[in-house]
Amino acid sequence: IDEWHHAVATTYKKIVDYFQSARVLGVTATPDRGDKAALRQVFDTVAFAYEIREAIGDGWLGPVTQKIVATDKLDLSKCRTTAGDLNQGDLERIMTEAGLLHEIAGPTVEECGDRQALIFTVTVRHAHLLAEVLRAHVKDRARKLGREEPPDSIVAALDGTAHKDERRKVVDAYQRGEI
């Protein structure tokens, strides 16, 4: 079971219960659940654990660095929690407000400069809206620096609804440094 941290969910339990005689291997990069639900309800032992610090030390991951963008428009007080996580619908509504998108995009573009970045968003809709705003900020930055305006393809939102050929095209463009 991939993403085995979901295995305590009713839908996953139904599958595991249906295949009672099967040996089940669960894999995940995020084993710690926000709701603290016991994964031992489904799995007896942990066969192998590879922690982020260990992977960084071994050279598989780069060291974690973070920058915080302070915003005036972010208000999570109306965001409910579901199973210990922020409610996705509420969070999408909050994160897709135009003012907040700009408050996030501007500093992000300035911080990234000419470096490539991957940005993970709340939902597919959030990804596409943020990409539009980021694109405008990237173009504005180019104008301020007296550079040629970059093409619209400089920023792309990619999600599972895209056809595999489109996904490949975007990934290839990213690997070539065009995004």
Q: Can you give 12-59 as a three-state secondary structure string?
A: HHHHHHHCCCCCCCCECCCCCCCCCCCHHHCCCCCCCCCCHHHHHHCC
pLDDT at 42 exceeding the cut of 90 = no
Mean pLDDT over 158-168 rounds to: 94
Q: Are 122 and 88 in contact (CB under 8 A)?
A: yes
> What is the structure's pLDDT at 70?
84
- Specify the residue for token string 């941290």: 5
Report the C-alpha gap between 20 and 18 in whole angstroms. 6
- How do residues 69-115 score in pLDDT, each as one tens digit? 889 999 999 999 887 788 999 999 999 999 999 999 999 999 999 99
Q: Alpha carbon 86 to chain centroid distance? A: 14
pLDDT band at 151 (very low <50, low <70, confident <90, very high): very high
Q: Mean pLDDT over all residues of the chain? A: 91
Mean pLDDT over 12-36 rounds to: 84
> What is the structure's pLDDT at 115?
93
What whole-number percentage of the chain has pLDDT above 90? Answer: 64
Higher pLDDT, 55 or 44: 55
Report the C-alpha gap between 174 and 178 in whole angstroms. 6
Higher pLDDT, 37 or 157: 157
Q: Are 131 and 109 in contact (CB under 8 A)?
A: no
Helices (H), the chain: 10-18, 52-57, 88-95, 98-112, 124-144, 164-175
Q: Is the full-model pTM beyond 0.85?
A: no
User: What is the enclosing helix (H) or strand (E) of 153?
Assistant: none
